[in-house]
Amino acid sequence: MEFTRPVINSYESSDMIMYGNYVEEDYPEVIDTNLYSDEINGQMIRSEYEETQTILTDNCSQFGITATCFDTHENLLWVGNQLGYVSSYYSADMQKYTMFRVHSDEEIRSLLTTDSTLLVLTPTTLRCQMRRGLPIFTHSSENLNEMQCITQLGRSQDTILMGGHQDKLIEFNLNLCKETTIINAGENGCAILRQNANRTVCCGDPTGVIKLRDPRNISKIIYTVDAHTGSLSDFDVHDNLLVSCGFSNTHGSMILDQFLVVHDLRMMRSVSSIQMIIEPFLLRFMTSYSSRIAVVSTSGQCQLVDTVALSEQDMNLYQMSGVEEGAIALSMDVSPSSQAIIIGDNVSTLHLFTTASSRFNTLARDTIFAQPMEPLPCGPISVTDELADYSNIPLLPCDGPLASELPEKFLRNIYRKTPAIDKSILSTMKMKGTVGYAPNPNNRKRNQVAYFNTVSESKLSNSININNNSNNHSNDEECESPTFIAIPRRYRKIDLKFKSEDFDYEQYNKTGFSGLESSVPNSYCNPMLQVLYFLEPLRKILMSHLCQEEFCLSCELSFLFHMMNKSKGIPCHSGNFLRALRNAHDATALGLILPEHNNAELKNKINISILIQNWNRFILHQIHLEFLRSKKGLTDEQGKFVFKDIDFPSIGGQQIRKKIKNKEEDNNETEISRLFGCKQLHVNKCLKCNHEFSKQSNLMVCNLVYPESLDETPMSFCDLLQQSICPKQTTMTWCERCESFQQTLQTRTLKSLPAILTVNCAIESKQNKDFWQQQMDILVKQAVTKSGDQKTAPSTPTSFNKPCRYGTNCTRHSCRFMHPGQTPTVPETNSAISLSQLYYSHSWLPLRIKADLQPDGELTLIKYDDEEIDSKSSSSIYDLHAVVCYIHEDRKNLVSIVNVGQKDHEHISASNPSPQWYIFNDVSVSPVIGQEAVWFSLDWKVPCVLYWVSRNNTVTSDIENEISNPVITAKVFTESVCLNSSSNSNDVILPDQIPKSGELVAIDAEFVTLNQEESELRSDGRLATIKPVQMAVARISCIRGEGQHEGKPFIDDYISTQEQVVDYLTKFSGINPGDLDISKSSKNLTTLKSTYMKLRYLVDNGIKFIGHGLYNDFRMINLMVSPEQVIDTVALFRLPHQRNVSLRFLAWHFLGNKIQSLTHDSVEDARAALQLYQCYKKLEADGTLQAKLEELYKCGKEMHWTVPGE
């Protein structure tokens, strides 16, 4: 390395040697300049500081070190870099202590240590961290923007001061974790903060000005120092001196000053300047000396100078070793003991200079280190050592349960199941009443019962590893190890942000069909709601229904389906339907309402598969009864009295009584029973006297009935369904002729086939599940056998071809391995056959079924594969329309797979309006192929409900011709429901006063809370919402937006609720306890359905709504309003990428009105929104809108978005 002696005229009395101490001797002609040795030209010179450590930090060299700080209480060095990481090193040996990440995409700007914590400042956040790395809190706010520096304020250990490249100084209290004071720092901001022994706080801005402030009143400026004409690079303050370095503005360019400026704080003026050998960039006082300063240049040179004895000869200059080309020093610090200097550069390297006695702190307290792991008291223990004493091995303290603490279910006495009765006994058994007897086959000793290892024979004889290759043994162990089940994402439950406006639904649904939100209690029925919606005949029938019952599920389904029709892919909120479901007494009695409390143990006991099947049966019967009540109500109102002989059966005798019975059966029929019902004839025949009696019923949902025993006999799904629809069984019933209980043969035959066939799979018990799995295994085995792939031996032998390690001594009854002398009976299959693909392509559940009903009621069902239909055939073809599946995962999910027809695709204007299968998983909608609907993996995907739709049934077309969609008319205003007679209701609205299409209406709604939000603290310190707050509509107000009665309300309804209200939110809603109680309220109390139909009338007639935050209001009311009909003042008075402004602040700023002073009033809020819209139109016409919005945000920041007087 070549060295050139610099020429410095200000030091004529002494010569100097670079990178060492100055020596009073002449320079030789050639100087040996080994920068890292203590010998120069044979003379040993002892340097005061030496570079003892050069460390490349953990992150790559692309990210420089932006902040360094010596701990003021312990022997620790703290380092922050541009990647957001903070590291710490212990003592001069630079032993790694801790490392953690503060921010994912922001650099560390400043570090500050207190007595017990470390404060880390990034451009937008303040993190408080324990020295051991645990976070205490993270603070962020609108005021934290481009933050740069931090310091402790005064003598207080709890108050800090933060500044940055903005016009604010922020005073922050660490105990309260909040900002206490905001001070105006000027337009140039504050880039550097230093404190001088609690006397002054020095604030340096980028323009070269340093302001001295009073720490007791930080807004008070004591003195201003114009340090540099260009810009300020760094400064430090100690005792009575302030020293700075910076840039000068010379001929329009910035030049780094090669001197330090010294100010005396006692005289408040500049006293001198110190000429430097290097170009000063960073500097720090060495506090253990009275006036010594460490100065660092951008190239990494460090010079120690004294501010008093300028003629002193010993002036040290050092250079960082191993510096890469282009390396720049970004940060530096001096330890409190002045025995160490640290420099960090832009290539992530630390350079530590220390003295011979290198301690960071002279009175440092002990640093807490992680407790080392104690060595085991003995050597390794073999897992096969039966005499090993595991209790001698110490364990670390833990909060969770130990493996030795067995759950209670493992400590119960479990008895053997009763073995199956021998087939030879069953074949000779005779029944006497309910007791069977048979000859003893004498194949076992007296009182001896044989117990065998209960292993499914289908698994023993499975030659192709049926269960997804799960029969392969690991280490030849007897038991199979559990395998990880990868559930596809489209089936898993979705983690939603419960504030739906913040959630990106498009990533889960790009189809145009609407999903359903799952944040409402009892939303487990969402998959069934999707199935019912895409049954076009049912949808038309329900949308033709409109009655006056408050909690009519048919009406609520009609409103929900109307909303889904208009949503165009936006998720819908089914809160009103689920509210009516909770108020249905039959649903509560059947256990269809889940408990409100988030009790994990209680939820685990709920079998959601059974629950959805019971819900399916309930909803069909419920809407049938509601249609029946509506039908009979209309008949009673319209029918007039006419004398008929059938009305008086005592006159006509038995023949007339039969006519009455047939008439009642016809009267009990509705569109729902005609669509889903199949008429069954129940025949009971006494086996003793042959007496028969019969009755007729209407079957709407069929439950699959499985065989009682498992065997290898294959059975198609059609055979099982046929036996379930038309069962035959023998049971003990009462015979009227014998006048005793006798064996009775019960048979059921069909009189008609339904247009829509609904089946509950009833796979609740293990036996039913095993039967379904067994039939799938048999089907796949047959497919492999017929494929003719046995010619090629597999590359990996199956477990049947592997020799058993126990040989002839094997005693395992179910051993799957080959033994000596045994010939393999398992056909070898080609390894290229993918078992999962075989299960996927060969499904036991058919996509199409052919049904033949004979005149005598005998039903024949077969799988239908041919697409050609014989026009002369009277058979009915049923296409699988929908499948509801239970997804067995931790959170128990339900999904529906639906075949969406061509008309539904045309409704959303799809480019290819052909039928397509979709998976509906709450808000997620994913297209799939039809084969996925009939493919099941019973370890995680279990079928629950099946829907088939008939192709050639005329009932559907007949019903569609009979129904007509009702139109909500203006009568909803004149026939409004009022539940309390003492209310101060609104004036009667005349027909000509109802708003017309295109007119303006201002609206606002208030809500109450039905349950509290439940949250949990995650391991990373975040608070996660596990159960959102449930809100209910309490008041809806609409005022006229134009015309003679502008500003006057024509709807101001309080909504009655029968559910318990946890919090009325009086401060925010204006609703007081008792306002929603029929017996106490003096308000215009009505039903939600009555008010909802008024709003539906306004929406359907093209009324334009004005309001503030209407998205959430309409979502909670369950209304889908097109964007053309919504005028939201939140969007009108908002700049791009800025915060939303509250209605109260907008009303104060633009209208000069202070609303919501004591409580909220929906009429007042709606009127304020209307006036704001009129103000917006005026500003837009004047061309001053943009300027007024900018003025709004400027005023809001100054006022902290609070109205004066709050």
Calculate mean pLDDT across residues 20-32. Answer: 39
Say whether both 722 and 584 belong to one domain: yes
Q: How confident is the model at residue 1191 (pLDDT cuts 50, 70, 90)?
A: very high
Domain-embedded: residue 990: yes
Residue ranges of the alpha helices (H) in 754-834? 766-787
Q: Does residue 322 share a domain with residue 234?
A: yes
Q: Which of 888, 1024, 90, 14 is nearest to 493 (CA)?
A: 888
Question: 898 and 757 share a domain?
Answer: yes
Residue 412 lies in a domain: no
Nearest-angstrom CA–CA distance, 30 and 42? 13
**Within a domain: 485:** no
- How are beta strands 1049-1055 and 1085-1086 bridged, if at all? parallel
Contacts of 31 (CB under 8 A, 6+ apart): 3, 5, 17, 40, 41
In tens, the pLDDT along 43-73 reads 555 678 999 999 988 766 678 999 999 999 9
With a pLDDT cut of 90, the percent of the chain lying above it is: 49
Examine residue 158 and state whether it is found in any structural domain, yes or no. Answer: yes
Asked whether residue 379 is assigned to any structural domain, the reply reads no
Q: What is the mean pLDDT of the chain?
A: 82
Mean pLDDT of 371-393: 74
Consecutive H or E run containing 1158 = none
Count Cα neighbours of 1127 within 13 Å in the Cβ-side half-sphere.
21
For 1189, list phi and psi in degrees, rounded to 5.
-70, -40
pLDDT bin (cut points 50, 70, 90) of residue 538 is very high
Averaged pLDDT, 615-624: 96
Q: Answer yes or no: do 957 and 991 share one domain.
A: no
The stretches of 943-1072 forming alpha helices (DSSP H) are: 954-962, 971-974, 1066-1069
Per-residue pLDDT at 147 exceeds 50: yes
- The 3-state DSSP class for residue 944 equals strand
Rounded to an integer, what distance in angstroms lies between the CA atom of residue 130 and that of residue 470? 48
User: What angle is formed at CA 165 by the lines to CA 162 and CA 168, rounded to 5 degrees?
Assistant: 50
Which residues make beta-bridge pairs with 270?
263
Q: Per mean pLDDT, which range of 87-101, 857-871, 1038-1052 is the poorest?
A: 857-871
The bridge status of strand 692-699 relative to strand 85-90 is unpaired
Residues 141 and 261 in one domain: yes
Distance CA 1039, CA 513 (A): 34
Closest CA to 435 of 766, 13, 687, 732: 732
Q: Is the pTM of this model over 0.75?
A: no
372: in domain: no
User: Is 264 annotated for ligand binding?
Assistant: no
1052: domain CATH number is: 3.30.420.10
Instruction: Match 């003021």 to its residue by tokens.
Output: 72
Question: Considering only 142-146, 256-260, 863-867, 1119-1123, which range has the smallest mean pLDDT?
Answer: 863-867
Domain boundary among 301, 320, 354: 354
Domain boundary among 338, 354, 370: 354
**CATH number for position 67:** 2.130.10.10
Of 14, 30, 47, the one marking the end of a domain is: 47
Do 196 and 237 form a contact (C-beta atoms < 8 A)? yes
Question: Is 106 marked within a binding site?
Answer: no
Same domain, 1089 and 1008: yes
980 with 910, same domain: the answer is no
Could you give the number of structural domains in the chain?
4
Q: What is the DSSP letter of 912?
A: S
Q: Helix, strand, coil: what percent of the chain each, to 5?
A: 25, 30, 50
**Conformation bin of residue 117: beta by default, left when phi > 0, alpha when psi is -120 to 50:** beta
CB 1025 within 8 A of CB 1013: yes
The whole-angstrom separation of Cα 979 and Cα 1079 is 9
Burial 1052-1063 (b: 16+ CB within 10 A, else e): bbbbbbeeebee
993 and 1105 fall within a common domain: yes
| 31 and 121 part of one domain | no
Residue 1130 located in a structural domain: yes
d(CA 351, CA 94): 11
Residue-number span of the structural domain to which 222 is assigned? 50-354
Containing 1105, the helix (H) or strand (E) segment is strand 1104-1107
The pLDDT, as a whole number, for residue 451 is: 62
Among 176, 134, 396, smallest CA distance to 1020 is for 134
Are 541 and 554 within 8 A, CB to CB? no
Residue 642 is predicted with a pLDDT of 44
CATH number, residue 625: 3.90.70.10
1017 within a domain of the structure (yes/no): yes
Tokens of 619: 């909803």
Neighbours of 138 (CB within 10 A): 17
Strands 1104-1107 and 1126-1128 turn out to be: parallel
What integer pLDDT is reported at residue 287 of this predicted model? 87
Confidence of residue 471 (pLDDT cuts 50, 70, 90): very low
* Alpha helical stretches, state H, 606-728: 608-638, 649-652, 654-667, 671-676, 717-725
987 with 928, same domain: the answer is no
Nearest Cα residue to 919 out of 490, 379, 435, 285: 490
Across residues 533-541, what is the average pLDDT? Answer: 94
CA distance 139 to 156: 20
Alpha carbon distance 355, 304 (integer Å) = 13
User: Is 134 found in the same domain as 31?
Assistant: no
1079 and 1031, same structural domain?
A: yes
Establish whether 1004 is an annotated binding residue: yes
Q: Amino acid identity, residue 312?
A: E
